Structure 1
């Protein structure tokens, strides 16, 4: 039922999707870790600043929180081996493409808000860091989506 960190030939015969500890050694699944780290940083940095104006910053918070929680859920699906069905490669591409698109929109909005705050706020450096991290997370999700699409096409 659940795969372990030992050598498991069942996963390789059913699907090209890794499970268990193999996700820490395969591309694009190794990207889960930096997606957690940088996505969590975006969430933390935006949450620690003054949420003004509320509308764009609210979208950034929604995207960072949604992607962080859903990536955690996705990670547990992969680690437990539930992803061994033929539909999972396409779901993986879809999720990471949607996340990349969401993060791109959030990063652009966050950059626009940050440019408007230049020199007006003491936490301007936190806003700059959040923008940089948001674009890094966008890049990570796009790379994950591209490699997942390659895996989907070859499966």
Structure 2
């Protein structure tokens, strides 16, 4: 897999599937979508922190989708795009890290406070899966941020 060098512009079209950090787009879709689906499929009593988790997962999913299509269609050729790429992914890391910590905290609280009926146990397991997927999404966005910042410094 080739990476962009200092003389190259940002990749467009099919080249985004072969360059780092753009290779992270697809796993970000998958794990971000899984967080969205898993959180939306459970019912937890303190809704407010889960509202933040839903906002972050939807915001990052839509933002990554837009970013992906901008790169795919070649709209990223102006000189400001490398810094915007690093900035967006840094914002996504901060958002996802805060959402992951909130989700983990609420999951721990819910395990202490509820009696485990079969339905509650199912929701608890879905919450645990959402926490894991959220931290994986955070890691993917973090790696994308690091490689985007390296590309930005080279440009």
Encode CA deviations 1:56-92: one digit per residue, 9 max, x unaligned: 0000000000100110000000000000111000000
Q: How does 1:61-100 map to 2 (within 5 A)?
A: 61-100=54-93
Runs of 4+ in structure 1 displaced over 3 angstroms?
12-15
Structure 1 residue 14: Cα displacement: 8.1
Residue equivalent to 2:148: 148
Structure 1 residue 16: Cα displacement: 2.5
Contact 2:56/2:96 (<8 A) preserved: yes
Unaligned runs of 5+ in 1: 1-11
Instruction: Tell me the TM-score normalized by structure 2.
Output: 0.89
- Distance in 2 separating the partners of 1:97 and 1:52: 31
Instruction: Tell me the TM-score normalized by structure 1.
Output: 0.89
Matched length: 145
Q: How does 1:1-155 map to 2 (within 5 A)?
A: 15-118=8-111, 120=114, 121-122=120-121, 123-155=123-155
Unaligned runs of 5+ in 2: 115-119
